[in-house]
Amino acid sequence: MKKAPIIIMALVTALFVLSWIFKAISFQGTEEHFILSGFKYTLAAFLTLAIFSFLYRDNPFYKFAEHLFVGVSAAFWMTMGFWSTIVGNLIPRVSEDLSHFFEVPYEPASRNLFYFIPVFLGILLLMRLSSKYGWLSRWPLAFIVGTTAGFNFVRYLRSDFINQISATFIPLLVDWHGIGHFFSNLSLSSVGQLVTILSNLVLFLGVFCGLIYFFFSKEHKGAFGAASRVGIWILMITFGASFGYTVMGRISLLVGRLTFLFKDWLELIS
């Protein structure tokens, strides 16, 4: 084994232990389990830095954090699924004995044989583990996909179709009392007449040209192509605004982690 990785590993381990000791000392007197608290803070800081180390390149510390994260989360969600769905929701509604066994409150009033339908579908889903009866698992999959698609069909038609149409029914000449009146009251206020008229116009043209861009049955040539190009420009401007807005949100997440490192862990800022 090369010497450099060993030295780095030893250095990181030493830093980890030192941090643990210093954090434990800083918690002494304020927390009952100060050694454990010191370990938790140090581990959280170590894992944060291990994930950040990915910015340099793939390395053993990132691999360790990644595998720990994936393993713990997979186990956590499986356990949560069992205890919240099967034990928490199903058993109290179907069996008093099993409720006593798992020590969860039995709910006699909610007892209903319909709960056995998802149980049956769940068992069918597990059939894919069998090479002989694996085909049975397609039934619950078809049920899940079919019912949700049917349910969403009506929902999307309402929200993405009808409501979108009615949202474009807007007056272009808002509060119009003639050209003289319009020019004498010209203002760039965001709630002013000029801006409202312009925004309504952009809204309508944006919807119109955007829809033309998403028209797949005709080649985008001539006037149709020009409208399509306006549509993609409007889309790109929208995406740019959305990008900037989301990046601002992401920076607040980064600030959160840096605050943890410099305030809670290193205590460099108050």
Partner 1 sequence: MRNKLLLILCLLLVLGGAPTWAQEIDPLDTTAAVDSVALSSPAPVSMVQAKDKGNDHGHAVVISWELSADDSYGDKSVIQYEVFLWKPFLYDTIQTLRDRVGTAKAHLIAHDDDSRDWKKEFRRAQKEFDEIMKGLTEAHAAYPEGGEFVNVGKVPCGENSFKHIGSKGNESGTYLPDYTDFYYRVDAVTANSEIRSQSEIIGPVQCYGQWFNTGRNPVLAAVLIFGFLTLFFVKRARKGSKLYVRPIGGIEAVDDAIGRATEMGRPILYVMGLGTAADVATIASFTILGRVAKQVAEYQTQLIVPTYDPIVMSVGQEVVKSSYMDAGRADAYDKDIVFFVTQSQFAYVAAVNGIMLRDRPATCIYMGKFFAESLLLAETGSMAGSIQISGTDEVAQIPFFIVACDYTLIGEELYAASAYLGREPVLLGSLKAQDYAKAILLIFAVLGLVAANLDFNVFTELFHVTN
Q: Residue 21 or 126: which CB sits closer to partner 1?
A: 126
Tell me if 130 contacts partner 1 by CB under 8 A: no
> How far is it, in rounded angstroms, from Cα 14 to Cα 192?
65
Nearest to 5 by CA among 48, 80, 69, 63: 63
3-state secondary structure of 28: strand
Tell me if 224 contacts partner 1 by CB under 8 A: no
Q: Residue 13 or 159: which CB sits closer to partner 1?
A: 159
Tell me if 237 contacts partner 1 by CB under 8 A: no
How many CA atoms lie less than 13 Å away from 123 in the CB half-sphere? 5
Size of the site for partner 1 (CB under 8 A): 70
- What phi-psi label fits residue 103: left (phi over 0), alpha (psi between -120 and 50 degrees) or beta? left
On whether the CB atoms of residues 16 and 42 are closer than 8 A, the answer is yes
Site for partner 1 in 182-211 (CB under 8 A): 204, 207-208, 211
Shortest Å distance, C-beta 135 to partner 1? 10
List the beta strands (DSSP E) in the chain: none
Q: How many helices (H) and strands (E) does the chain have?
A: 11, 0
- Using CB under 8 A, pick the residue from 246, 262, 263, 269 that binds partner 1: 246
Binding pattern for the stretch 25-64 against partner 1, x by CB under 8 A and - elsewhere: --------------------------x--x--xx---xx-
Angle formed by the axes of helices 3-27 and 60-80, to 10°?
60
Under the rule (CB under 8 A), what is the footprint of partner 1? 51, 54, 57-58, 62-63, 65-66, 69-70, 72-74, 76-77, 100, 103, 105-109, 125, 128, 137-138, 141, 144-145, 147-149, 152-154, 156-158, 161-166, 168-173, 204, 207-208, 211-212, 214-220, 235-236, 239-240, 242-243, 246, 250
